[in-house]
């Protein structure tokens, strides 16, 4: 089972968390100016790389706080856990 280190509560099993999607996806500056295709791109299309990928997770059965995880999508290895801005390792995946 995957172990994820909550920045506030420490390590716990993956079953205590919920996946929140790709990290660092910025909300459009002027959403009303977007075409339907551009809005669909923002809402539905995400990167799907092999290797390091920045993701959002919430510790739903613990502190209920959101944080970011860089996880290798091939090996499931957690490479980094952080809050807020992305660290250097996160630039390997999840850029949009």
> pTM value?
0.81
Q: What is the pLDDT of residues 9-56, one digit of tens each?
A: 999 999 999 999 999 999 999 999 999 999 999 999 999 999 999 999
- Which residues have C-beta within 8 Å of that of residue 51, sequence separation ≥ 6? 72, 73, 74, 92, 93
Sole residue written with tokens 């968390």 = 17
Q: Which domains does the chain have, with CATH numbers?
A: 3-33+40-92 (3.30.2270.10)
The reported pLDDT for the residue numbered 1 is 84
């Amino acid at each position: 089972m995957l172990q994820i280190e909550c920045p506030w509560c420490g390590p716990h099993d993956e079953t205590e968390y919920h996946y929140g999607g790709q990290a660092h996806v910025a909300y459009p500056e002027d959403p009303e100016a977007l075409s339907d295709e551009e809005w669909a791109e923002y809402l539905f299309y995400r990167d799907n790389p092999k290797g390091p990928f920045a993701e959002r997770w919430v510790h739903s059965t613990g502190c209920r706080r959101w944080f970011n995880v860089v996880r290798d999508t091939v090996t499931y290895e957690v490479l980094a856990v952080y809050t807020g801005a992305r660290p250097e390792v996160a630039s390997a995946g999840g850029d949009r």
